[in-house]
Amino acid sequence: MVPTWTLILPTDQKGLNWSGKSYLDSCSTEEPCIATKWLSCQDGVCKCMDSKELIYDSTIDQCAAIADFSCLRKLPSPESTSNEEEGTHPNETVNSDEVYYINCIKNARCTYPEDVCKCDFRYYKTRNGSCLEQHGYGERCSADDQCDKYRFFSCVGGKCACDRDHRYDVKRNKCFKPVGESCAVIDYVDINDAYFKGKISMLQ
């Protein structure tokens, strides 16, 4: 059977928006965590269901998927907790055929059709899966993806700068190649929709 993908809204009509305990609240089988916030009861405290793939985002008051992890999830039943001593089953789901979208962390979005959270254009993934804004000219770096690719910066000697094939234009704050040489093209597919539309409207 093909799974059904559903976006969970603040007020869900299917009864999935269960009441319960919030992030870091004490919990138990009788007082479960709010599953639609992707919380589960772990050692008596409400935490993100999977600490390796989810992180709590206080701005939306729920757990969100970190970069490079799926933005599709199955909800556990409201009675489930992760305490095996109480004889519960954390993998038990409301409907095994339904999969729900989860928010990605700040500065990331769910890609299509991969359904994986990826950092927006001009942001890079950190070791803990968060997405930080790429650095400007002269700022410290340890890899090329940490430098602003929109301005064609590369990580050179531990700082964002132009590589040996480019020259830096102070006025435009970009790296350029001399006329007549081969040039690179920015992949606009990676650009966040809001950012891209904003740039287009500025040109009109």
- pLDDT per residue as tens digits for the range 96-133: 457 888 999 999 988 877 889 999 888 999 998 999 99
Can you name the residues that pair with 47 across neighbouring β-strands? 40
User: E-assigned strands of the chain?
Assistant: 4-7, 39-42, 45-48, 54-57, 62-65, 72-73, 98-101, 108-110, 117-119, 123-125, 131-133, 154-156, 159-161, 167-169, 174-176
Residue 196: count of CB within 10 angstroms of its CB:
14
pLDDT of amino acid 185: 67
Spans of the chain below 50 pLDDT: 1-15, 17, 78-96, 191-192, 194-204
pLDDT of amino acid 134: 95
pLDDT of amino acid 95: 47
Please provide the average confidence, as pLDDT, over all residues in the chain.
77
Tokens of 5: 């993908």
pLDDT of amino acid 156: 95
Tokens of 28: 């138990």
pLDDT of amino acid 66: 95
Reported residue count of the chain is 204
pTM above 0.85, yes or no: no
Asked if 90 and 40 touch (Cβ cutoff 8 Å), the reply is yes
CA 182 to CA 70: how far, in whole Å? 37
pLDDT of amino acid 76: 62
